[in-house]
Amino acid sequence: MATANMSTASETWLAMAQAAGLQALRIRGKSLLPIVQGGMGVGVSASGLASAVARLGGMGTISSVDLRRRHPDLMALTAHLDKEADARERIDNANLIALEREIRSARAASQGQGWIAVNVMKALSAYEAYVRQALTSGANALVVGAGLPLDLPELAREHPEVALIPILSDARGVQLLVRKWEKKGRLPDAIVIENPRLAGGHLGAAKVADLGDARFDFEVVIPQVREFFKQAGYEQDIPLIAAGGIDSHADILRLQGLGAAGVQLGTAFAVTKECDAADVFKRILAQATPQDIVEFTSVAGLPARAVRTPWLDKYLRILPILQERAHPKAKCNMSFDCLQTCGLRDGISGIGQFCIDQQLGHAMDGDAERGLFFRGAGRLPFGEQIRGVADLVRHLLTPVPLAAAA
């Protein structure tokens, strides 16, 4: 009976979207709400948030990065590791266990509604292991960004039932990836088109100075990609999901008019009640003004966008000194080696010089002094209010925004 009621509920939300003039997001024959919750780490989007979105018929996304932090028993086994020869292996194994737990928990809590996706950064050292774990643990979709996942079709070959969704930012990247995948007998099941001028976290531009480049504008990228699909003969096979700066029904309607099938939001979901991070984390994101948001180069060598907190403010002030003193370290600060390329560990002076896992972990815990709080550039639908996932989705499906009507 509960499953039947849940099914009716998700169908009601989908009918609401269609009544508001929005098309369903169809991936591999599955009709979903045209609203995707983006993956956010460390521990910001885990089973709680992802399942809340899926229960409404949308796609909720678990971020795979360092999920052991959400499991006290796994942290008890690994937090003390330092000089042990097998420290990285033990931490990686703990994270794989945590990822399986989170996927299974989200699948159970969503009761068969919507989809549960897993976001994996291509830049991670354990990228392949995370991908394989997500595939075997029952994720409906894999969303991969922070690099070109040209190898994803091979890694997922034994799991054709799992949707593969790369994150890209311009038409050139889409063409390159699709052509490479096509030679391997697999096309993307959808593609997230992320606008680095608007999105939060790690961004799909070569450097900070490129974030505002017009080639990333939705009005440029989406028509270019759709024309490429048309010429290649698979226009209807690969839906596009626009990410960055979306906060209203009007935005979704406009983007669907351009040729997108759906939209992805991150920060707006990060400040919901169901978000898996601490309440302080949510308040910092919700209360940030445009002047509080800063762009910089991460330790992964990618541009990033976050809230200027005491730690980030101090870090940016002393960054020239840190870069001047940059040198290869004997080992990772966290005995983890989370990134394939790390400016701090590898002594790369031209990029970031901090431990990203440590700072994001502080943010997840709500440490306002020491945390790194990734955030998008746009306004939030409810301002500083912390509202539920259902309120946010209803707002996005309502032609007259709830915030304006209140």
Kindly report, residue by residue over 18-58, the tens digit of the pLDDT.
999 999 999 999 999 999 999 999 999 999 999 999 999 99
Cβ neighbours for 1, distance < 8 A, ≥ 6 positions apart: none
C-alpha of 47 from chain center: 14
- The answer to whether residue 73 scores a pLDDT higher than 90 is yes
- The answer to whether residue 272 scores a pLDDT higher than 50 is yes
Q: At what angle do helices 218-232 and 171-183 cross, to 10 degrees?
A: 30
Per-residue confidence (pLDDT) for residue 400, from 0 to 100: 74
Per-residue confidence (pLDDT) for residue 9, from 0 to 100: 79
Quick one: 268 exposed, middle or buried, by C-beta within 10 A (0-12, 13-18, 19+)?
A: buried
Q: What's the average model confidence in pLDDT over 134-162?
A: 96
* Gap between the Cα atoms of 387 and 191, Å rounded: 29
- The answer to whether residue 397 scores a pLDDT higher than 90 is yes
pTM of the model: 0.94
* Strands 35-37 and 30-32, sheet pairing: unpaired
Per-residue confidence (pLDDT) for residue 335, from 0 to 100: 67
Q: What are the sequence ranges of the domains in the chain? A: 2-278+379-401, 287-364
In the block, tokens 């990134």 appear at 339
pLDDT in tens, 77-112: 998 877 777 888 899 999 999 999 999 999 999 999
pLDDT in tens, 331-376: 776 767 787 788 898 899 999 999 999 999 999 999 999 999 999 9
Please report the beta strands in 21-107, taking only residues with DSSP state E, as ranges in sequence order.
25-27, 30-32, 35-37, 59-63
* Gap between the Cα atoms of 349 and 339, Å rounded: 16
Contact at 8 Å (CB) between 280 and 288? no
Per-residue confidence (pLDDT) for residue 159, from 0 to 100: 96
Sign of the Cα torsion 282, 139, 24, 57 reads negative
* Gap between the Cα atoms of 134 and 149, Å rounded: 15
- The answer to whether residue 271 scores a pLDDT higher than 50 is yes
Cβ neighbours for 2, distance < 8 A, ≥ 6 positions apart: 111
- The answer to whether residue 405 scores a pLDDT higher than 50 is no
- Is the bond preceding residue 299 a cis peptide, omega within 30 degrees? no
- The answer to whether residue 5 scores a pLDDT higher than 60 is no
Share of the chain above pLDDT 70, in %: 96
* Gap between the Cα atoms of 172 and 384, Å rounded: 37
* Gap between the Cα atoms of 24 and 4, Å rounded: 21
155 against 84, higher pLDDT: 155
Q: What's the average model confidence in pLDDT over 233-243?
A: 88
Per-residue confidence (pLDDT) for residue 6, from 0 to 100: 53
Contact at 8 Å (CB) between 375 and 285? yes
Contact at 8 Å (CB) between 43 and 90? no
Q: What's the average model confidence in pLDDT over 220-227?
A: 97
5 against 119, higher pLDDT: 119
- The answer to whether residue 293 scores a pLDDT higher than 70 is yes
pLDDT in tens, 191-212: 999 999 999 999 989 899 999 9
One-letter amino acid of 133: Q
Per-residue confidence (pLDDT) for residue 329, from 0 to 100: 87
* Gap between the Cα atoms of 306 and 200, Å rounded: 7
Quick one: 380 exposed, middle or buried, by C-beta within 10 A (0-12, 13-18, 19+)?
A: buried
- The answer to whether residue 268 scores a pLDDT higher than 60 is yes
Q: What's the average model confidence in pLDDT over 66-70?
A: 95
Cβ neighbours for 214, distance < 8 A, ≥ 6 positions apart: 220
Neighbours of 272 (CB within 10 A): 22
- The answer to whether residue 406 scores a pLDDT higher than 50 is no
Contact at 8 Å (CB) between 331 and 319? no
Domain 2-278+379-401: state its class.
alpha beta
Q: What's the average model confidence in pLDDT over 303-313?
A: 96
Q: Which two tokens stand for residue 396?
A: 């996005």
